[in-house]
Amino acid sequence: MASFIKKLISGDPAPSIPVPIFTQLFRQAKNRQYQTIEYIIQELADLAEELNEQYVILGFSIGNSYDRLADPNFVDLRYRASCEADRHQMRIAIRESVQAENISLEDFIRTLINGIALIPSKIRTPGRRRPWATGRRPWSESWALQCAIHPEADTDGSVGQWLCKYLDHFPKMNLSPSDFARQVKYAKKHDIPFLSLRTSLRMLRGSSKRGLQVYHDDIFAVLHVYFRLSMYAVDIFRWFYNGTTESITDKYQVLYMVTCENILGTIMDPFAKAYCINSATGELSAVSISAEVKTVIAKINVEGTMSYLMHILQELKGQGSPNTELGWLLCNFIVTSADHKTADTDNTVRSIASRFFHPNDSHDDFRPLGVPFDLIGTVTENTDIEFEPTSLADAVAASGPRIDAKRLGTITDSPQDDLECGICTEKVCDEVPDEHGEAGLDGVLKLEACGHHFHVACIDSFVNGAFPNKAKVQCPLCRSDICDPRPVSMRD
């Protein structure tokens, strides 16, 4: 505990105040998933930014500055619908925490304004600096984190021990002009099929000095990132050919935005991992993304690399390849480029690529195992790419003894008539047949973890599914941890 407090004090650019409600929000995020933590950080930072603007105009008068929290119908139109839905839950959690402390929202907001007033004006400049250009979080995000891990708020240090890592600096992203023309030139004149990938792999040679396993893990993590980039390109390219009315420029901006966001997320996540299933053994592996790999990823010329991948896809399309095979073909291009003599001088990359990224026999709608479908929700109107990806969830099945759902809460024989099951959305008072054909799965279960209600048959089916990459099975409504997942194995 002493180490992170010392770190907090030595690197604190702005005076912080103890805000136990902030601490509680992070403590409730038991899974510590990066996206969940970022939603909390960004919501608190938006609140700080708005309060700062209000303070500059009205001083210590709170005015309407707490509408963001007080109005249950508030919608922040700056964010996508799926993102705003999660952030809305954060605002609900803040209101509930304030009420639990028996204080008014006005007093809570006034406390925050008093804390913001302690920050020198040169630090709390209106508007956020872009973290990818600075390598550090803007003042509002740092301040919210520091208030949450303040020793008087996080009295036992349990939150600060891991949350303080979100205050670490990270590599700045490469914002240089596109090097697309250079990559095309090297492919044609120097027989280097993918210059960006070769450069990234060569930058890892220093990792071999830290041990062979570290070197292999770093190669695996970089390959995983390039597979994700290739899937972004495939998804947007298929969107081009889907007959939508948006211009290609607009669609490419979506590609660039999502790519930058996900690369930045990988760089900023202090606990970032790359997941995959060994295609030969079915073993699930997780490799931590090291600081060296983050430095390599940050140096990728995003605009040039994505333009080059789109160029490769145009060539494949020109050869008559159907949309459904583009993912498989581009993945093979990545493997071939990584295995090229100019990139893989000692066959190390070849062994790693063939072990973890060997394409399966099915070409249609192929996705590498462990690579998420990141664009879903961003281009939901695109019917062409709304296919079922070959993800971990599709490739594995739950195994071992079934989980007894009844042990996860309390059986209710006479629930309220207006309650709905959080899974099937039917009234809990309505009978639902047991889809497993097992006896004794009637009734309604109130989860002990969060108090939400489900038909016993519905929650039984849910918790006994396959949850690869998940440390805990979570409530479908609030994401509270329910139980440990069942083991998974490759499907036959």
Q: What is the pLDDT of residue 380?
A: 41
Q: Which of 342, 365, 390 is the last residue of a domain?
A: 390
User: CA angle 45-47-53, nearest 5°?
Assistant: 105
Q: Is residue 151 included in any domain, yes or no? A: yes
**212 and 157 in a common domain:** no
Give the CATH number, domain containing residue 436.
Answer: 3.30.40.10
Q: Is residue 136 included in any domain, yes or no? A: yes
Q: What is the pLDDT of residue 224?
A: 86
**404 and 378 in a common domain:** no
Q: Is residue 407 included in any domain, yes or no? A: yes
**362 and 255 in a common domain:** yes
**61 and 40 in a common domain:** yes
**87 and 44 in a common domain:** yes
Residue-level pLDDT, tens digit, the chain, 492 residues: 334 333 333 344 457 889 999 998 898 876 678 888 888 898 898 888 888 887 776 666 666 656 777 777 777 777 766 677 777 888 888 888 888 888 888 888 888 888 888 888 878 776 556 777 788 898 899 999 999 999 999 999 999 999 999 999 999 998 888 899 999 998 888 888 899 998 998 888 776 667 777 888 888 889 888 988 888 888 777 776 654 545 556 666 777 777 888 888 889 999 988 876 655 566 667 888 999 999 999 999 988 999 899 899 888 888 887 777 888 888 888 888 887 776 666 667 767 766 555 555 456 667 676 665 555 444 443 344 333 333 444 446 778 889 998 899 988 766 666 677 777 767 766 555 444 334 446 788 888 888 888 888 888 988 888 775 567 888 877 767 889 888 866 555
**484 and 353 in a common domain:** no
Q: Is residue 173 included in any domain, yes or no? A: no
Q: Is residue 174 included in any domain, yes or no? A: no
**82 and 19 in a common domain:** yes
**339 and 228 in a common domain:** yes
Q: Is residue 71 included in any domain, yes or no? A: yes
Q: Is residue 300 included in any domain, yes or no? A: yes
Q: What is the pLDDT of residue 7?
A: 37
SS3 of the chain: the string is CHHHHHHHHHCCCCCCCCCHHHHHHHHHCCCCCHHHHHHHHHHHHHHHHHHHHHHHHHCCCCCCCCHHHHCCCCCCCCCCHHHHHHHHHHHHHHHHHHHHCCCCHHHHHHHHHHHHHCCCCCCCCCCCCCHHHHCCCCHHHHHHHHHHCCCCCCCCCCCHHHHHHHHCCCCCCCCCCCCHHHHHHHHHHCCCCCHHHHHHHHHHHHHHHHCHHHHHHHHHHHHHHHHHHHHHHHHHHHHHCCCCCCCHHHHHHHHHHHHHHHHHHHHHCCCCEEEEECCCCCCEEEEECCHHHHHHHHCCCHHHHHHHHHHHHHHHHHCCCCHHHHHHHHHHHHHHHHCCCCCCCCCHHHHHHHHHCCCCCCCCCCCCCCCCCCCCCCCCCCCCCCCCCCCHHHHEEECCCCCCHHHHEEEECCCCCCCECCCCCCECCCCCCCCCCCCCCCCEEEECCCCCEEEHHHHHHHHCCCCCCCCCEECCCCCCEEECCCCEEECC
The pTM assigned to this predicted structure is: 0.68
Q: Which of 390, 408, 425 is the last residue of a domain?
A: 390
Task: State which residues form the domain around 377.
Answer: 180-390
Q: Which of 116, 141, 167 is the last residue of a domain?
A: 167
**223 and 316 in a common domain:** yes
Q: What is the pLDDT of residue 164?
A: 92
Q: What is the pLDDT of residue 468?
A: 59
**222 and 359 in a common domain:** yes
How many domains would you assign to the chain?
Answer: 3
Q: Is residue 172 included in any domain, yes or no? A: no
CA distance 226 to 17: 42
Q: What is the pLDDT of residue 160?
A: 92
The residues near 283 (Cβ < 8 Å, ≥ 6 apart) are 277
**207 and 133 in a common domain:** no
**200 and 62 in a common domain:** no
